[in-house]
Every structure is written in C-alpha cells, then in structure tokens.
Structure 1
Amino acid sequence: MDSAPKLNLQKSMELYTEAQKLSPGGMMGIRRPYNFVPGEYPIFITKGYGGHIVDVDGNDYIDMLCGYGPIILGYNEPEINRAVIEQMESGFCFSLVQPIQNQLEKRLLELIPSAEMAILVKTGSDATGVAVRIARGYTEKDKILRCGYHGWHDWCVEVHGGVPEAVQELTEEFPYGDLDALEQSLERNKGQVAAIIITPVGHPLAQPVMAPPPGYLQGVRNLADTYGAVLIFDEIRTGFRVALGGAQERYGVTPDLSTFGKAMANGYAISACVGKAEIMQVAEKKVFISSTFFPNSLEMAAAMKCIDILERERVLEDIWQRGEIFLNRAEQIFADSGVPATVSGIPPMPFFTFDKVDDLYKERRQCFYTETIRRKLFIQPYHHYYICYRHTDEDLEYALNAIYEALEVTKKKYPVK
C-alpha cells in the first residue's frame, strides 16, 4: 500500500499566514495546526453538509470530529435552520428574557435525572464555571477535585500560564477509574472540598477513552456523600449523545449538579447547568451569575428543535447501533494490521491510541493521521471522534477503508522491530 498524495491546501495556508498577523497563533487553542499534523490538515472550512465538511480549497471530508462534539445530527439541518429563522423574526436579544427560556428549561428538567432547576448559559466553560461557583457557594468551601477536561477558566485550565498559583492550589486532579486515589485526595483535603467534578465517560488527552468501570460512578457518588462534597457530572460531551439525559441516565448514577452543552443544539452556542433545587437556589441571592448574552433565544430555539428531532427519530439508538458496528470493525482492522494500537471508547465516541511499545509510536501516530486526512477522513490525533446521525453507512464504510489503508502504510513505514 502506497502513501496517498498530499492534499492541495494552498488557500488554507495563505489564510493561516494572514490569520497569524491578526490574532495570536491565528486561532485559539485546539484549532491551531500543531494539534493536528502540521502541513497536512486544512485550517479553514467553508461549509458543512450532512456528515461532511468542505475546506477553502474544495477538499470534501467525512468529518468525525463533528466540531469537537456539537454536531449530533449533521451540518446544515433544515428544521433547525427554520426554527432559528422563525425565532429571529421575533427578536432574540432583549433586556429581559423570553418565554422560550421557560420552555427549554422545562424540557431539560423532564429529560435529565439530576435536573430540578436549570441555568442556561453559552459555552461548556460557562456551565462548569457556574456549577463550581454554585458548589462553593452552597458548601462554603473552596477546594475542587477534578477528573477530565472542564474548560479554559482559571480553576480548571491545564496550561497554567496567566493563572495565579493561589488559584491553582484550589484545584486538585485525580485519575479516572481509581476510587482509592479519589478517597486519598478527599482525606488529604478533608473538610475543604466543595465539589468533585468528573466527566462520567473518561477521555484523557491522547489516551484511551474509557466507559465507567462497573460500580465506579456509584463509588464516586458514595465518596462525595461521605465527605460532604457536591458531586458534579461534566456532561458537556456526553449529554444528548450517550443518552438524552446523559451518562447519568445510561449508567444510573445521579449527581447533585450537571453541565450539558455541545450536542444540545447541534452546533448553536448554548449550554446549561442543572441540578438539585436546594443547591441551585444559592444562585438566587448568594452567588452571582449574569451575562448580556445568556438569555439570547436563537440558541434556545435550536435546542428545542434539536431535542424534538433526537426524540422523534430515535437518533441516539441509531448512533449507538451503528457506532458499535464501527467500533467492532475498527478493532478487527487494527488487530489484523499488527500495528501496536488500542481501539477504545463507547459507540458514539470512538478513539484510537498508538501504544508506546518502542520509540516509534509518535511516528506511527503521525503517519496514520497523515494518511487518513489525505484520504479525506477528518479525525484528530489527540481528541476522540464522534458519530453523528447524518453519517451514512457509506460514510462509515469509507472511513473504515481509509483506516485500513492508513494502517497498511504505517505498518510498512514503521514496523515493530
């Protein structure tokens, strides 16, 4: 199997050169080229349709990154577009709130096991920030124990530049799946912990994605109760994807507070912090939360319509069923290839990791992702992938074939010695 030809990315590169003069790094964080394979991936996208994206050079890709998770249905969904336009015609940014806020919050309370009250915000970082502030206000404690990625704010950011050391000391990280480690952290910080915040499906950076081990989430729940900490499930990725009510619904463990976003509105910027009324009510007088744009209603209209479609079309059942087939097929392809790598994740959220069996694992990883992007399969080396509703069976079959061919090239270039 020969390497695929390099893509024409001339316009992307020209725009990137311009962007670096206009903004630090050209764009922010995870969208910078060094998070992919520099020189091989597109940098600017012009449009999306179904489960595909098209870059500024006209390259058409099967997109399994799905905007880093918000695209649960597909790009350019007509029903959602119409709902947003209809809301736009009535206005969407006012000094006061609109009735659709109540309608959406009622919907969330019906669907999410932990939801007795809700606060609508914009981004995942907004929602986790709200949850942590509420937990601190409710418990009158300061320490946060965290497991997973929770956004870019000072209390949780993984790159500490610009974050005061005193703030960093208020957050302590613990490993996923290890109840003993969590208990040790709670004991070490006894009487100081406001909240435990955890992504219920583990997704460490560039490491295998883990479904919760049997009894693990209930164990976390029990430890939170024992030590008097608020338990927060960060369901920004898992909400409306693992189940309509999130991982807490699927795995049967109810936290005190939860954060939802991404798939909630199929790409529109909205998220929510929901939870027990007793805890949430500190946001009425004791804890301050406000933003000019939190009440904007276009995103609420998109969320209402997205949830309509998820329920009507039984979308998540379809994604789980086809995702399971995809994961099983991918696992067999990797096993047959002999390339030292691990297929992990759950059906809606697969991931591939290159095993550190020798000094060539990074070269294998880069080769594999170079070959997949050249075959116009858009996945990413450091972030798990997603299956959306509009990925056709043909799309997924094409993706599996691209994976097979990329592994053949990788095996040929970087054999295990």
Structure 2
Amino acid sequence: METKKLNLKKSFAEFEKGKALIPGGVLGIRRPYNFVPGEFPIYFDEGKGGRVKDIDGNEYIDYLCAYGPTILGNREEEVDLAVINQIQNKGFCFSLTQRYQNQLAEKLNELIPCAEMSLFVCTGSDATTTAIRLARSYTGKNKVMRCGYHGWHDWCVEVKGGIPKKLYEDVYEFKYNSLESLELLLQEHINDTAAVIITPLGHPLAAPIEEPEKGFLEGVKKLCEHYHTVLIFDEIRTGFRVSLGGAQEYYGVTPDLAVFGKAMANGYPIGAVTGKADIMKEGESNVFISSTFFPNSLSYVAALKTIEILEREKVIEAIWKKGAHFNEQVGNLLRKYPVGARISGIPPMMFITFDKDNDGIYKAKRNDFYTELIRRKVFLQPYHHGYICYRHTQQDLDYTISAIEESLIYLTKKYEYKAVL
C-alpha cells in the first residue's frame, strides 16, 4: 500500500520565497530536482544525533549526513563545547595564526601515511585546487588526469557555464578501475602531466560505488612513478571515515599528496592538503595560498576534538560494524525482492541504485522507492550515496531495514515482480 504523503507546506512556501531571493532558491546539489520533487523537504530546522527535523516538524533518520561531514552526529556536544570555549575564551579570527594549526598538522602526520607537511583551507574544492597548483609548480608541467568529483572550481567542475575553455583544456578524465585508460592519456601527454588525481574509492554521481579492483591503485601509483607525475588521492569523502588514515591506509597505497575534509571536523568547514614535504614546500613561496578565513581556528579546534573522539571511542570500528550489518540485511532484501535494485559500497558508505533498462523504467522505480522511504521518514538520496554515522542507533538501522522492505514490497506489487521465497 502506498504511504501517505508528508506535510511539507512550510518547506514549499519557503522555497517559493527563496526563489525570489537566491538563484534557484537553494544552491547546487540541494535543489529539489536532485531528490524527488514534491516529496522531499527543502529546508531543515534542526538535528540531533543521527536525526534531522524539517521546518514542517517531520523528523527523519538522516543517512546523507550533510553529504558526509557528520561522522559523529548532529550537535555533538563535546565538539561544540570545544568550539564555544574557543569563541568565548580565546577568539578565532586574528591577523596572525593560532597554534592549533600546528597541532592539527602534527596529528595528520601521526595518522595519515602520506603526511609529512600539511596546509589547511576551508572546503574540499579549495583543497583539491590547491593540490593541483602545488603539483603543477613542483613538476613544471600542466596536464592533469582526473577521476572523481573534485569540486566546483574552474579546472574540474562539470557544468562549464561562465568558464573559458582555456581554464580546463589541460584536464582529462580517465575511467575508474581502468589502468589502460589512464596509461593512454599519460602516453599521449608523456612530458607534460603534472598530476593524477583520483578518488581511491570510486563514487560516481548516481551510479554504484566501486571498490578498487586488485592491483588498480597500485598500478596507478606505478604509472605515476614511471611518468614522473604527482599522485593525489582525493579523500574528501573517504578521509576519517574509511579509516583514521583514510582509504590510503585501508587499501595500503600511499600517494604523494592527499586532500581531506568533510568528516575531519564533524561539520565545521575545513579542508586539508597533506603529503610529501618536497611537494608541499612549493607553498612556501612558489605557490600563493592565502585567505582571510583559512587561519580561523574554530574548525581546527573542532577537527582536533573530532579526531580525539574518533580515536578514543573507536568510532570508525563501530561504524564499520553497523554498516556491515546494514548492508548485509539490505542485500538480502534486494535478493528477496528482485526489482532491479542493488546495494554497493563499503559499510561506512553505501548506495542503493537501480539497474538501467532500455525503457527507462528504472527511473520510475527509483523515484517510487525513494518516495516510499522519505514518507517513512528515512532520509536517503536517489543520486548520492549514503553514510552511517556514530549516533545512528541499532533501532535506527532496524527501522530503516524494515522501511526498505516495505518500500520493496510496494515496488514488487506495482511493477508485478514476484518475491523470492
């Protein structure tokens, strides 16, 4: 039976107001067409732990986790109190840098295999762009081979409006898990490739998550060594979630540089570039890296406290355990109700997608599935993978698994599939 539609009147009214004030009402990936229009809320009001509440008062179990930063939970008291203490007793915006920058860099050196020196920025896009600039300066080369998202800046953004071609004409895409596609590009630009930047875990938009095939990341590293180019791991999503040392630690392949952000500060805005000292030292004088807000210490304090909690409470181990149970149970349901859906990813990061068909029915099934889930107060995104956070309880997971089964039963009946008994 179809579930009753949510009351979202305030959200829709606020959106109409927003469209006259903000281009598109809200920016980028948070616009309604990136969910199921008319079914998902557009404005949240508050959050606590693993749950969020919209401005109409509907409460959801939140598996999008602010697109990744919420590794612990919303309003994590210990982190927030550390930030409040900094505001009230120390301050955070000065002409000179506070010492927390050094403390955080020391911590990254301790945890991350490639880390010898670090610098800190505000966002993931800042970090990837800085890493590319460092690599170009270090090598004296121009070309960049990329595989992943990497942000909204001119050199990599997918939507090219307002960007002259000359700003991205030296950037080429290769296919994840295809060493051949990368080597062909490196051979073509044999003397002018500055960097290869890749997400060590493949998470393409609206497509299943891909783990690296055996030997793939190792092969990428060997190619970079052979062609004398800088290997950059984009760990904005995997950092401090796959393991404390990132996916590079988990998969055992150490890049020259890596970028981190999102989960590192549990929602406070930060990005980091870290790696080999000889490359990082390009930032001393050859590469200009400066912003009024890069040295603001609130995010450093939040990151230090978040990492302290991750270590002390063995948070990542707990998330892997919860996620493994969740993925196994959902996988069993998808086999029981063969509606053309699959779950991909690893325990901390999972994605339920629908296999494409020639008639495009998968799109309707996807919309129906995610509509049924949001009506059951489960906040997952149709085009972006989900996350498990530390404050998701076993009750949350069990309820979600039950909601997924009810949604699959709805699809089975609507599209005339038979359950496997």
TM-score between the two structures when normalised by the length of structure 1: 0.99
The residue correspondences of 1:83-232 to structure 2 (distance < 5 A) are 83-89=82-88, 90-232=90-232
SS of the residue corresponding to residue 54 of structure 1 reads strand
The residue correspondences of 1:244-263 to structure 2 (distance < 5 A) are 244-263=244-263
Q: Distance in 2 between matches of 1:303 and 1:289?
A: 21
Q: Distance in 2 between matches of 1:362 and 1:290?
A: 44
Q: Distance in 1 between matches of 2:79 and 2:349?
A: 23
Aligned match of 1:381: 382
The residue correspondences of 1:29-40 to structure 2 (distance < 5 A) are 29-40=28-39
Unaligned stretches of 5+ residues in structure 1? none
Q: Distance in 2 between matches of 1:235 and 1:344?
A: 19
Which letter does structure 2 place at the counterpart of 1:266? N
Displacement of 1:416 after TM fit? 6.0
Q: Distance in 2 between matches of 1:145 and 1:62?
A: 38
Q: Distance in 2 between matches of 1:54 and 1:362?
A: 27
For the Cα contact (< 8 Å) 1:340–1:357, is it kept in 2?
no
Q: Distance in 2 between matches of 1:203 and 1:362?
A: 19
SS of the residue corresponding to residue 16 of structure 2 reads helix
Displacement of 1:167 after TM fit? 1.9
Q: Distance in 2 between matches of 1:133 and 1:414?
A: 51
> Is 1:64 equivalent to 2:58 in the alignment?
no
Percentage of identical aligned residues? 59
Which letter does structure 2 place at the counterpart of 1:143? K
Matched residue pairs, number?
A: 416
Aligned match of 2:41: 42
> Is 1:339 equivalent to 2:335 in the alignment?
no
> Is 1:369 equivalent to 2:331 in the alignment?
no
Are the structure 2 counterparts of residues 413 and 132 from structure 1 closer, same or farther at C-alpha, using a change threshold of 3 Å? same
SS of the residue corresponding to residue 83 of structure 2 reads helix
Q: Cα RMSD (Å) of the superposition?
A: 1.0
Q: Distance in 2 between matches of 1:177 and 1:3?
A: 40
TM-score between the two structures when normalised by the length of structure 2: 0.98
Which letter does structure 2 place at the counterpart of 1:280? M
Which letter does structure 2 place at the counterpart of 1:54? K
Unaligned stretches of 5+ residues in structure 2? none
Aligned match of 2:271: 271
Displacement of 1:343 after TM fit? 1.0
Which letter does structure 2 place at the counterpart of 1:43? I
Instruction: Identify which range, 356-365 or 174-183, moves more after superposition.
Output: 356-365
SS of the residue corresponding to residue 351 of structure 1 reads strand
Q: Distance in 2 between matches of 1:161 and 1:274?
A: 31
Q: Distance in 1 between matches of 2:85 and 2:94?
A: 16
Q: Distance in 1 between matches of 2:187 and 2:404?
A: 46
SS of the residue corresponding to residue 386 of structure 2 reads coil
Displacement of 1:215 after TM fit? 1.1
SS of the residue corresponding to residue 404 of structure 1 reads helix
Q: Distance in 1 between matches of 2:304 and 2:229?
A: 33
SS of the residue corresponding to residue 118 of structure 1 reads strand
Over residues 242-274 of structure 1, what are the superposed CA-to-partner deviations in whole Å (9 max), with x where a residue is unaligned? 001100011110000000000000000011000
Q: Distance in 2 between matches of 1:259 and 1:132?
A: 10
Displacement of 1:185 after TM fit? 1.2
Displacement of 1:188 after TM fit? 1.5
Q: Distance in 2 between matches of 1:325 and 1:358?
A: 33
For the Cα contact (< 8 Å) 1:74–1:389, is it kept in 2?
yes
Displacement of 1:322 after TM fit? 1.2
For the Cα contact (< 8 Å) 1:363–1:414, is it kept in 2?
no
Q: Distance in 2 between matches of 1:357 and 1:30?
A: 25
Over residues 199-245 of structure 1, what are the superposed CA-to-partner deviations in whole Å (9 max), with x where a residue is unaligned? 00000111110111111111100001111110000000000000011
Q: Distance in 1 between matches of 2:29 and 2:303?
A: 25
Displacement of 1:412 after TM fit? 1.8
Q: Distance in 2 between matches of 1:309 and 1:267?
A: 14
For the Cα contact (< 8 Å) 1:190–1:227, is it kept in 2?
yes
Displacement of 1:98 after TM fit? 0.3
SS of the residue corresponding to residue 284 of structure 2 reads helix
Q: Distance in 1 between matches of 2:121 and 2:71?
A: 19
Aligned match of 1:321: 321
Q: Distance in 2 between matches of 1:412 and 1:142?
A: 55
Which letter does structure 2 place at the counterpart of 1:83? A
Displacement of 1:358 after TM fit? 4.1
SS of the residue corresponding to residue 387 of structure 2 reads coil
